[in-house]
Amino acid sequence: MDRISLRGLSAWGFHGVLPGERAEGQPFVVDVVLGLDTRPAAESDDLARTADYGVVAQEVTAIVTGPPCDLLETLAQRIADQCLAHGAVREAEVTVHKPRAPIAVPFDDVTITIKRSRA
């Protein structure tokens, strides 16, 4: 399976379980790896036969800036579901970074990574 990767998509969101996270928001960063067969697009040189990564990037950003959820797991699932809505995409790996998570000790990043496939 071929892969299209989008790394470091950044957007401001209001996700989290704490009231301050919902009120003030914070930055989220998303990495997406789409699994698909790119041969049909390569043979025809036709964008319609692959995943348009520009569109995917806009959709991911819209999800992050959209309705809030408590858990990163939920946010990642929403993004994976949207990626799989593209006909050529057979698999989606989504990593959501929450670099300003409310943790009381020094840290670099908090992430969740999920991998979903078409049934």
Q: pLDDT for 92-101, tens place per residue? A: 999 999 999 9
Whether the pLDDT of residue 119 is over 80: the answer is no
What is the pLDDT of the chain when averaged over all its residues? Answer: 97
CATH of the domain at 60: 3.30.1130.10
Whether the pLDDT of residue 40 is over 80: the answer is yes
Domain residue limits at 57? 2-117
pLDDT at 63: 98
Residues forming the active site: 98
pLDDT at 31: 98
pTM: 0.96
**Would you put residue 25 in left (φ > 0), alpha (ψ -120 to 50) or beta?**
left
Q: pLDDT for 2-26, tens place per residue? A: 999 999 999 999 999 999 999 999 9
Q: Count how many domains the chain has.
A: 1
